[in-house]
Structure 1
């Protein structure tokens, strides 16, 4: 997929995130139609409360960002109002949408390897991930 496409033309947006030196890199996948941020983190069991708070802030800010950039007005590819995950969340008043952050799902896997797998449309599980290979 070419880079630089408008967000309304893609299903998922991949965002590598590093909060600070204490917080390891994670991959956040914004699943726009599912209103979900999937977090792929190699150290999910060791993550501290700061990193969780940062991801939750992102989940709360994302609807505002999308709304301010007229993302939900682009319905040529997706009828946002009729998607189950968006029902009762989009109205004429954008503030109502902003009260509903994206769900955050912790996927607890290795960031770089899974970014490659996911961007190629391949399904993988953390059980058989070959970290030495990647």
Structure 2
């Protein structure tokens, strides 16, 4: 995706049509040209460990805490435990889906299965 989107934007000419903003002419940004935004370091919040490469799981779990109105633990998020939890939820969903014999959450009728009938020997083409 990181290569597809820029390539698409370039090939479609989207970037050529865009009018760039001259930030130096806008009063609110004049003194910010060298330092575009202020960085505020906050202590005591959960952070992804440097050794962890599982950014998606960390962001998803952080978003889950916030969306549920829960306090994010200060001592960190156990991504290993969350990985097991999400895997278990997906497995359980798959099991329930298989038992109820439906293909998706869409209420469309199921497609009929292909009837596989072996062709007559005369209809087969043999290649040697």
Asked if these proteins are the same fold (TM beyond 0.5), I'd say: no
Q: Which has the higher contact order (CA 8 A, sep 6+)?
A: 1
Q: Specify the structure having the higher radius of gyration (Cα).
A: 2
Query: Counting strand residues as a fraction of each chain, which structure ranks higher?
Result: 1
